[in-house]
Amino acid sequence: MRTNRNLLWAGLLPVMLLIGCGSNKEKEEEEKKDDESVSMMGAAGAMKEMASQMEDMQKNGPVETVNFRTLKELLPADADGLPRKEATGEKNGAMGFTISTATGKYENGDGSERIELSIVDGGGSPMMMGLAAWSMIDVDKETEHGYEKTTKMGDNKAYEKYDSADKNGELNVLVNKRFVITAKGRGVSMDKIKAALDDIDLDKLADMK
């Protein structure tokens, strides 16, 4: 029971951090109180969702993850025109659960444009709570130079953020409650980041067992 509680809090921590990020210290006291109330409500909802997922994991037990070599085959040869420079994969495990990861790195000739694509199969393990904490909350924020928000890609929950000043951003998608696909870009537009992630066949990934 203590182990499960620790896993629950480990998954909740990034959710609370995500909810609380971007707070403005110059806001009036009333606004701070309102923000805290909203954050607590969001954290409570996330806690309930995590508890539900933990029960499902206990009932179903560990799920064998897809071999990282198979995941590597889904990495495109280029990311919206940027050639692939490296492709790696690995498998790690703890407490009977395993995670398989495949990563591709792409860049232009002078390295001014870079994109990294990763595919993670957590097999529905408790560790997925930390990897996709954003999937259990709703975010919609905007600043002078960027934004972050939760959204949808087809039927899949997604999270994206972008800084237009630095031209840095990332897009994350949760598929079938076990696969997390991430596209991170530097020196590129968000449209290019999205186009790179679109090169991964999400339907084929969702069908993998």
What digits encode the pLDDT tens for the residues 7-47? 434 444 444 444 444 444 444 454 444 444 444 444 454 45
Residue with tokens 């909802």: 45
Angle at alpha carbon of residue 133, lines to 129 and 138, rounded to 5°: 145
What pLDDT, on the 0 to 100 scale, is given for residue 40?
Answer: 43
Q: Tell me how far apart the alpha carbons of residues 81 and 83 are, in angstroms, rounded to a whole number.
A: 6
> Is the Cβ–Cβ distance between 159 and 138 less than 8 Å?
no
Q: Which two tokens stand for residue 51?
A: 């508890």
Burial of 2 (0-12, 13-18, 19+ CB in 10 A): exposed
Q: Tell me how far apart the alpha carbons of residues 77 and 73 are, in angstroms, rounded to a whole number.
A: 10
What pLDDT, on the 0 to 100 scale, is given for residue 55?
Answer: 56
What digits encode the pLDDT tens for the residues 76-118? 999 999 999 999 999 987 766 789 999 999 999 999 999 999 9
Residue with tokens 């993850």: 65
What digits encode the pLDDT tens for the residues 124-158? 776 666 778 888 889 999 999 999 999 999 889 99
Angle at alpha carbon of residue 14, lines to 9 and 15, rounded to 5°: 85
Q: Confidence class of residue 61 from pLDDT cuts 50, 70 and 90?
A: low
What pLDDT, on the 0 to 100 scale, is given for residue 129?
Answer: 67
Tell me the range of 3-17, 54-68, 121-135, 189-203 where mean pLDDT is highest: 189-203
What order do you get walking across the sheet with 156-163 strand by strand? 78-79, 82-94, 97-107, 114-121, 179-186, 168-175, 156-163, 146-153, 140-142
More reliable by pLDDT, 190 or 125:
190
What pLDDT, on the 0 to 100 scale, is given for residue 42?
Answer: 47
Q: Which two tokens stand for residue 82?
A: 């940027």
What pLDDT, on the 0 to 100 scale, is given for residue 59?
Answer: 58
Q: Which two tokens stand for residue 168?
A: 């840095």
Domain ranges of the chain: 2-60, 68-206
